[in-house]
Every structure is written in structure tokens, then in C-alpha cells.
Amino acid sequence: MDPEAGHKFAVKALASGFAPRDMAKDDEALAVELWGQRLSSPVGLAAGFDKDGEAIDGLFNLGFSWVEVGSVTPKPQEGNPKPRVFHLAEDSAIINRYGFPSQGHAIVLSRLRSYVATHPPSAVTPSILALNLGKNKSSAPDSTTDFLTGVAKFGPLVDVLVINVSSPNTAGLRALQGRGVLEELLSEVIKARDALPKRSTNEWKWEKAKIVVKIAPDLSEKEVQDIAEAVKLSGVDGVIVSNTTIQRPATLNSINAVETGGLSGPPVKPLTLATLKTLRGHLPSSIPIIGCGGISSGSDAVEYADAGATLVQLYTSFAYDGVGAPRRVKDEVTATLAARKTTWNEVVKSSVEKLSWRPKKATDLFKDAQEELKAALDEAGKRISFGDELVLLKEKVVEAIPVIHAPPLSVPAAGDAPAPPATDARPEKTLQELVREAEAALGLPTSS
């Protein structure tokens, strides 16, 4: 079956109400705390599978603690031309260039309202419904309107809103990850969220939806640092690391590796983990990170927790393994934690505390300032000393020039007529020119 056709069939099957259910209870060791709420496990589903909110109930029934609908765009759009999904079976990976195919806000909003009406939100429900917001292709690259519209429409109906600025399949979208434009975007999103009416915490986990930003794995260390600053300054609640990659690791074996689009699955894991570790070191412990990229086993998930992720998301492993993937991964996580005699929450708490950024104390700032001042004074002293030596050397050069260029003395013999004055065969040069020549020969800065 064509990969995209198989994808659509799976969504329809899960939406039918006749899909399998995971009836097992999550082990207590899997419990995790996020923004003050307890979830039964850290294993969620990333955006991209249920793009239009058709199979929310079916996905929760498989045991995911976090189901993320989308990406959803304001206007309906077809996305990129087909074919646009490619399996790399030899690499257990996928390349997609979907380009945000979406039925649009109106249809997805209707589905979400129906879902909330039949599944009343509860502050104690051990799961999170998230919605991933995307931009229409027809929208201006630097426009924030699509995101702000999405916040206003969907904020009252979901637990979490995800701002997707990292898909590689929409032209110009990743440019929104630059510090200045991202800080402005996220600040506007937070203002739009804060303007929403408060919800009852007897019914909802939080008075207002949490805001999370999803970033790419193809960022430099400086770009990740800039994103961290934008996140801290804007007041965003969390970060998902990461989206698909545009890189093609040399380890890929499939002939489909040449296809354009975002690569997901095990090959992206090293890139995502590196980005996550860098980001964790520049964010305070109060801002959680959700890890997403190449997680196909329990050991993968725990590796993300060791790197400072609070939750993890599956996508490609779910596409390959099917409905049993979340239970399998959770059981493997449980076994790994049991072998280490610990729990998920303990692993996360330890790694986040150890790896997160901490604001410096006043005494540390004073010491840093002292060190910077001392270094500046030392450098200034060196320059002053070197400058004085140059001045003295130049003076000596100037004094030496008349001696070097003086004509040779000629002493006449007794009785001879006085010899004519000796002449220098070289053309006459000014003193300044001679100084410059000497400076150049000595490798000194030239005089002006």
C-alpha cells in the first residue's frame, strides 16, 4: 500500500471505534509530573499522525498520555504535490514533505467541540490533549496572524497549544526560529493566550492552555542559545525538541534517502539529543522539554530522560510498529527503570536539576565583573606598554637614519686640491619616507 494511503487508513480505523484498546494499567514507575499535574506515563504521540482531529479517542485508547492533533492551518489547504511520503525501511525511517495538508480551523474546531462535549475535561485525567498550529502557505512568511488566530480559536478547547516554527516543508517557516522574530512571535502568542477567559480548575488542568514551541534539530549551538533566550523572555511554558531533519546522515541505506523532505526515525535521534542537551543547559528547570526524535524503544526514551526531557513522543516507530508501539515502549521503560531501581520522575528530576541553567547569584556576578575588569586592565596595560616601546623604538630609528645615510668622509692627501663633496647615488628621500622604510623592515606599524 502507498505510504500515505496506509496512513489515512490507519487514522480512519482508529476513528471508527473498533480499533484495539490497551487495557493494561501503567506501572507506577512511569508516572510523571508536568506543570504540576500527574500523568500516568511519559509516552505521547507527536503531531503529524492525526492531522485533523479525527481519531483522538482511539489514540488515547492505545495508551498515549499526550495526543497532539495537527498541524492545523487557518484555511484548508492540500499541502505539497504527491507522492510526498517515503518509507526508508532499511533505516526504520520516514521522509515526508506533506506541507501541512489541513482541513482548516473550522472543521477541526467542530471536531474538538464534539470531543470535549462527549469527553468532559477533568483536572485528574492522566492525559493531555494538544493541538499543533501551523501556517498557510499563502500567508506572509513573517506574519504571526495564523498563530494568533489559532490561539484564540483553540485555546479554550485544549490543554496545550504547540507553535510549529520548525517544519522543513513550508517555505520560510524555519526563519521564524531566529531570536528577534521568535521572541516577538512568542510574546504575541502569550498575550493572545493570556487574553482568553479563565477556565475552572475543577474541570481543566490549567486555567489557560499551556504554550509550547516546537524547534528543529538542524540548529547551531548559538541558534539554540538564542531560542532559549526567546523562550525565557516571552514566558513560553515548554519546548518540543525536535521536528524532522533536512540532514541526510551517511548511515542511511535506503534508496529513498535522496527524497526531499523531513527525515524522522532513528537516524534523527543523535541530532535531536544534541539539540536537547544544549537547550537544557540554557533553560531553567521550570521550563520542561518534550523529547521527540527516533524514539523506538524503552532505552531510547530513558536516554531522553537522562538528557533532561520530561516527556517523550513517538511518531515513526508508531507508524512502523502499529497500535502496540506505545505499550511496548512503556513496558521497556518500566523494565529499564526497574533495573536501575528508580522511577521516571526520579530520573527526570535528577537530570533536570543537574543539567538546567541557573541564574547566577549576586556574589558570582560580582566575581565575574571583577575578572572581566582585571582582564580589561591587563590588556590595556599591555597595549600601553607596547605603545611606549614603539614610540621609543621609532625615536631611535629616526636618530639612526642620518648616520646610516650620511655620505662617506673623504680626506684629501697633502698638497692635493680639496676633493669635491661626495654625493649619494640614491634619490633623495624625506625623513618620513625613511622612517616608514625602517618600520616596514622591522615589521612595525607604519607611521601616518
Q: What residues are labeled active site?
A: 167
Neighbouring residues of 224: CB distance < 8 A, sequence distance ≥ 6: 215, 275, 278, 279, 282
Q: Are 316 and 283 in contact (CB under 8 A)?
A: no
Rounded CA separation 136/75 (Å): 7
Neighbouring residues of 335: CB distance < 8 A, sequence distance ≥ 6: 298
Rounded CA separation 327/32 (Å): 16
φ and ψ at 110, to 5 degrees?
A: -65, -45
3-state SS class at 70: strand
Query: Strand locations in 109-174, DSSP E?
Result: 128-133, 160-164
Angle at 431 between CA 425 and CA 437, to 5 degrees: 80
Q: Are 283 and 232 in contact (CB under 8 A)?
A: yes
